[in-house]
Amino acid sequence: MNMSTKAKVAVTFAAVMCAVTVFYWSSLYRLYTAVTLYDEDKIVHNFLSMRDAFNTTTIAPAAKPFVFPTAYRPLPESFSVAGKTESVSGFLKDSGTTGLMVIKDGEIVAEQYFQGMQADNQHISFSVAKSFVSALIGIAVQEGWIASLQDPVTDYVPELIGTGYDKVKIEDILQMSSGVKFNEDYGDFHSDINRFSRAIAFGTSLDDFTASLQREREPGTYHHYVSIDTQALGMLLTRVSGKSLTQLISERLWQPLGMQDEAYWLSDDDGMELALGGLNVTLRDYAKFGWLYLNKGNWHGQQLVPQQWVEKSVTPDKPHLMPGKNNPASSSSDGYGYQWWIPIGAEDEFMARGIYHQFIYVDPDAATVIVKTSGNHRFTEPGHNWRDRHLAMFRAIVEHSK
């Protein structure tokens, strides 16, 4: 091969590689972001800018925004857990906090931002999104789109026939008791949840992934946290309503709640939202959703979510859903309702909770909602007792604000 021919081959190869890179750039960038999502030097930036790397759908702010009045006061200086006293400010830093808001009696009494987050920044919800999806299911039941929670999900979503969700009751899916086999270990590269994350990076159909799972246990007998259960609920909502999750949440929650800011939902290449954890919202709008549930679904006289639904959502009603450290029928020590957590020792407390320390904590008796967003790269490290420390801090904030 002479030099002229070699040069032509080299130029042609370079041109082809450039074309391939351009064509696949979005997928490559999504994959890179997914693989490095929780890296120490990238985690906070990633959690505040998910739309830069992934497909999204947009939820417009409300035409008539609602703004909580403010009555700022200091947070408690410390809290105690497991016989040790810890400073609140130290723990907020230690747990990678990006935002903290406390609503007391309908007023913002604390609002703090860290690590570059600002009031109008949308922050990834992770599994806090599940509680929003639950609210939409409650609305669908009220509208008659879903006849009964005892109906099999496959009555409404035939694509799931022959899968792990075949003939599983909607209520069992709501209560994370579907019996579907799923490894939720974020520290295991080969786990189902991380395999799912890589599928998102390539824009793979979320519906197809959901339909790929198989049965492990008898439904309704064991509480095993399966994030894809919420994805199945998302499929259900789109089938029964004829609308996207983005349309539903905009019409039924965002507009009537007076959400101040635009939000967005991660989606696949087909436009199906990542129901299980892809919602990105500002701190103050997360707080409005918490305040809605504190008031049993009523927003300034308008019943947006049925009261009975809210009450059932935060009340474990079966043995395998009860809080307790030695519950043999549960993979968690906390109790579970309809996509809401009920902590050990709770009187009326409940919370929406997402990985890497995303919280909407609600204490109705104390008329208090606490929202915390975080980007803690040490989330999967053992020995930090993150769960109990967060709960102790939340309870100390409630007690301090009385």
Name the DSSP letter for residue 70. Answer: B
Q: Whole-angstrom Cα distance, residue 216 to residue 182?
A: 8
In a domain, 256, yes or no: yes
What is residue 7's predicted lDDT score, i.e. its pLDDT? 54
Q: Which residues contact 378 (CB under 8 A, 6 or more apart)?
A: 96, 384
pLDDT at 305 (0 to 100) = 98
Q: In b/e form, how buried is each residue of 142-177, taking b as 16+ CB within 10 angstroms?
A: eeebbeebeebbbebbeebeebbbeebbbbbbbbbb
Q: What single letter denotes the amino acid at residue 317?
A: D
* Residue 124 backbone phi and psi in degrees, to 5: -60, 135
Predicted local confidence at residue 262, as pLDDT? 98
Residue 24, both tokens: 């696949």
Predicted local confidence at residue 201, as pLDDT = 79
Residue 273: which of 156, 125, 141 has the closest Cα? 125
Q: Which residues have a Cβ under 8 Å from the Cβ of 337 and sit 6 or more positions away?
A: 175, 312, 313, 314, 315, 316, 317, 321, 350
Measured in whole angstroms, how far is the alpha carbon of residue 266 from the centre of its chain?
Answer: 11
Instruction: Give residue 209's pLDDT.
Output: 93
The CATH number for 252's domain is 3.40.710.10
Among candidate residues 183, 163, 165, the one with its CA nearest the CA of residue 174? 165
Among the listed residues 256, 238, 5, 17, the one whose alpha carbon sits nearest the alpha carbon of residue 246: 238
Token digits for 239? 């089938």
Provide the pLDDT for residue 351. Answer: 98
Q: What dihedral angle (degrees, nearest 10) is formed by the CA atoms of 262, 263, 269, 270?
A: -90
Length of the chain: 402
Averaged over successive runs of 10 residues, the pLDDT of the chain (402 residues) comes to 52 42 62 88 97 96 98 97 96 98 98 98 98 98 98 98 98 98 82 81 89 95 96 98 98 98 96 97 98 98 98 97 92 96 95 98 98 96 95 97 86
Which residues neighbour 5 within 8 Å (Cβ) at sequence distance 6 or greater? none
The pLDDT score that the predictor gives to residue 13 is 47
Q: What's the confidence (pLDDT) of residue 22?
A: 42
Determine the pLDDT at residue 34.
80
Q: Please give the Cα distance from 59 to 51 (Å, whole number).
A: 13
In a domain, 65, yes or no: yes
How far, in Å, CA of 129 to CA of 359, rounded? 10
User: Residue 261: what pLDDT?
Assistant: 98
pLDDT of residue 318: 96
Q: How far apart are the first and last CA of the chain?
A: 84
DSSP E strands: which ranges in 149-266? Answer: 263-266
- What total number of domains does the chain contain? 1
* Location of structure tokens 């008791």: 177
**Full domain range(s) for residue 84:** 43-400
Residue 2, pLDDT score? 55
Element holding 336 (H helix, E strand)? strand 335-336
Interacting residues of 40 by C-beta distance below 8 A, sequence separation 6+: 377
Whether the model clears a pTM of 0.85, i.e. scores above it, the answer is yes
Q: Which of 122, 276, 282 is nearest to 207 (CA)?
A: 276
- The DSSP H or E segment spanning 247 is helix 245-249
Amino acid, single-letter form, for residue 122: Q
